[in-house]
Amino acid sequence: MPVDSMTWENHTLFMEFVFLAYPKHPVLRMLCFFGVSLAYGLIISGNILIVVSIKTEIRLHTPMYYFLGSLSGIELCYTAVVVPHILANTFQSEKTITLLSCATQMVFLIGLGSADCFLLAIMAYDRYFAICHPLQYPLIMTVTLCVRLVVASVVIGLFLSLQLVVFIFCLPFCQDRGIEHFFCDAPPMMRLVCATSHIHELSVLVAATIAIAVPFFFIATTYALIVAAVLKLHSAAGRHRAFNTCSSHLTVVLLQYGCCAFMYLRPVSSYHPKQDKFISLVYILGTPFLNPLIYTLRNNEMKGAIAKVLTRKYLSWKIIG
């Protein structure tokens, strides 16, 4: 390989971007660090508690709770991609990131976020068979199928993300390398691209449509079939139980897809950095924080399992103490 080519590649890989969204005043920095740390601590504790409760409680070894535990696991992973980086940058004087690190962060952030969306669609599929085809449900939703569906959601999410990130980072960036954001994400990175073409924007929108719009329409169709089936039930208690089971999932779907659709399913020209950077924190911190609350407050089985886990921990600490 020619020396000039090698020098250019090294320069490109270690080219640095600067994050501009962080507060400059010391008091605001402290408040930002404290707020994000508190939210992250609650996200970790809440989602780990769900995973441990599902793992230890035999009654919860069903497809619905397996998918819920997997959702918590994925959300733990994708917050870990971004939040520690935000906390570390808060007090650093130079908030820089290399091109390679930025691309890696985007691959895992977008990939795991997409996997989250796919998994919510799988959970709707699970509820559809449980309510509409209860006799066939145990034969269809086997442990093997559940594992394959979760693995497929992660693999497809990362595959789509890798293609999108490679496409974005192959485009020429302008001299101004200031990212008006807290982390690397597709909309703010596309604003730094010098090549203005509708094809570039269209490619990003196609990837976002596959990861967000397609699963959302699948969920909407699934719930339309569920509602039609539930309304045919003669038992009022049966209808209440079915709607209660689905309401938590539907709340999470609207929260997750609403934020993601607002961020990704629109042209880059309509992106407003000063407003949208805070909206992005909703799906990075808000959704993973609220999901454990939404799924446990309306679910007596989960509340009972979590209470058992906490009681066992308390008793073990008391014995050690």
> Could you say which DSSP state residue 173 is in?
B
Dihedral of the alpha carbons of 101, 103, 107, 108, in degrees to the nearest 10? 20
Q: Using DSSP, state whether 224 is helix, strand or coil.
A: helix
Burial class of residue 260 (count of CB atoms within 10 Å of its CB; 0-12, 13-18, 19+): buried
Q: List Cβ neighbours of 53 (8 Å cut-off, separation of 6 or more).
A: 60, 302, 305, 306, 308, 309
What are the pLDDT tens digits along the chain (321 aa)?
444 444 434 446 668 899 988 888 889 899 999 999 999 999 999 999 999 999 998 889 999 999 999 999 999 999 999 999 999 999 888 888 988 899 999 999 999 999 999 999 999 999 889 888 888 999 989 999 999 999 999 999 999 999 889 888 888 887 778 888 899 998 888 888 876 666 777 777 888 888 888 898 999 899 888 888 888 777 777 677 777 777 777 888 888 888 888 888 777 667 777 777 888 888 889 889 888 888 877 778 888 888 888 887 656 666 665
- Using CA atoms of 280, 281, 286, 289 in order, give the dihedral in degrees to the nearest 10: 120
CA dihedral 36, 181, 186, 109 (to 10 degrees): -20
In terms of Cα–Cα distance, which of 296, 51, 292, 84 is closest to 150?
Answer: 51
> Which DSSP string corresponds to 51-102?
HHHHHH-GGG-SHHHHHHHHHHHHHHHHHHHHHHHHHHHHT-SS-EEEHHHH
Provide the β-strand partners of residue 179.
19
120 CB burial (10 A radius; 0-12, 13-18, 19+): buried
Give the pairing of strands 96-98 and 16-19. Answer: antiparallel
**So what's the pLDDT on residue 318?**
61
| Residue linked to tokens 């880059």 | 268
pLDDT, position 6: 44
Cα end-to-end distance, the chain, whole Å: 65
d(CA 49, CA 42): 10
- Computed on alpha carbons and rounded to an integer, the radius of gyration of the chain in Å comes to 22
| 168/190 Cα distance (integer angstroms) | 7
pLDDT at 13: 61
